[in-house]
Structure 1
Amino acid sequence: MKKLIRTSVDSIFAGVMIAIGAAIYLNCPNRIVGSFLFSIGLITIMELGFDLFTGRVGYIRSREDALNIFLIFLMNAVGCLFVLLLPSGHDALEVWTHRLEVPLYSAFFEGVVCGILIYICVHRSKTRPPIVTVVTTLVAIPAFILCGVEHSIADICFMLAARHFTWEGILFILIVAVGNAVGALAVSLWVAHRHDFVK
């Protein structure tokens, strides 16, 4: 029970951090600057060890892990509600509706790319000094934002900030989440087993 409570609270705080990053991004008139400032949320999550879906999903190895990831996703979404208390900028609706114009197959593949980038950030942070974590994050996060690839938890924040709730939006987020998982798992499984292919 204690582990369940800890995971839930850590996941909620991770959602709050993404909500803060999303609010900063939406209120920044310069998208390049905003993409770097968005990294504050991810850096905080990694430094404090909070549980973020995109950072943990690449480490699924068992049914228990999968159930834990499902809980993390739900609690991240709860934490994202914090964005409703923050100023959302004038173009939150435009940002969100623009995302919904993307075909679902494109959203999936954009989710895959984002999953790969987030996994790289998290994997590097486990074996490198904190400064490397910060630098890697400051490169990878603006990269996925400026490339237009999709982060499922950030997209939840954008939907909430836009106050635009539809089944289409929920489906979009779920497709992106699957893409995030596929990208992260593809890289992590290859990293874990590539030595099996050495002659």
Structure 2
Amino acid sequence: MIQHYMKCFLRAILAGIAIGLGGCIFMGMVTSEYKWVGAILFSIGLFTVFTFRLDLYTGKVGYAVENKPSYLVDLVVIILGNFVGALIIGQMIPMPEAAEVLIVDAKLGGDIDWWRVFCKGVFCGMLMFIAADYYKTQKKYLATFVCVPVFILAGFEHSIADMFYFCASGTFTLDAFLFILVVIVGNAVGGILIPLCKKYMYEDPPTGNPQ
């Protein structure tokens, strides 16, 4: 069991680094008129996670519905590993001042609307489950390069990406910690929404491709 968690932790660290790589691309283009290109290239993070079967919280939390309660321990290990990976690359690649204003200050500046933050986390969680489940069932990356740009351009909140942004900007405050916690919960609610509803919304068990 210990070996299982150690391997899970290592995969999670690498997943956090992969998302950080995507974040580096985006924060380098966030001030450009071609911000949408950065949103598309951010997909390299999830592409790497799927290709090497790494453990990313937002890609795994949706499967809590079909796993034993002990799976929750895996999710905690994954979150911690994802943070370590985000911290490593965040400290190696500091965020430019202009990007900090547009990303970090936009998230934490002024009075934070925690309900809106939660809702943005929910929608991001839904998109990440769609991407993860599409790859799991189809072994294709199409949803990766659709869902990632959608959540970025829509302004939804991805807990691991936010960890990277805060680490890269050196933002280790109580508000940042609470922000991440709210997004983690939102990502979880969004991630389990579709698989939970699948248990009850079909008259017959779905077989094959939907018509």
Same fold (TM > 0.5) = yes
When normalised by structure 2's length, the TM-score is 0.87
Aligned equivalent of 2:54? 50
Letter in 2 for 1:32: W
Gaps of 5+ in 1: none
For 1:130-141, list aligned pairs within 5 A: 130=140, 133=141, 135-141=142-148
Matches of 1:50 and 1:192, distance apart in 2: 27
SS of the equivalent of 1:188 reads: helix
Instruction: Compute the displacement of 1:87 (Å).
Output: 4.8
Matches of 1:169 and 1:48, distance apart in 2: 30
CA contact (8 A) 1:93 1:163 kept: no
Correspondence for 2:36 among 13, 17, 32: 32
Q: Residue 87 and residue 168 in structure 1: after superposition, are their counterparts in 2 closer, same or farther (change >3 A)? A: closer
Aligned equivalent of 1:73? 79
Matches of 1:141 and 1:148, distance apart in 2: 11
Aligned equivalent of 1:17? 18
Aligned equivalent of 2:150? 143
Aligned equivalent of 1:97? 105
Letter in 2 for 1:45: V
Aligned equivalent of 2:194? 187
CA contact (8 A) 1:22 1:158 kept: yes
Instruction: Compute the displacement of 1:122 (Å).
Output: 0.5
Matches of 1:43 and 1:169, distance apart in 2: 27
Q: Show CA shifts across 1:76-106 (max 9, x none).
A: 0000012211253332321111012441100
Aligned equivalent of 2:180? 173
When normalised by structure 1's length, the TM-score is 0.93
Gaps of 5+ in 2: 205-211
Alignment partner of 1:63 is 2:64? no
Give 4+ residue runs of structure 1 displaced > 6 Å after superposition.
Answer: none
Instruction: Compute the displacement of 1:46 (Å).
Output: 0.9
CA contact (8 A) 2:94 2:169 kept: no
CA contact (8 A) 2:25 2:42 kept: yes
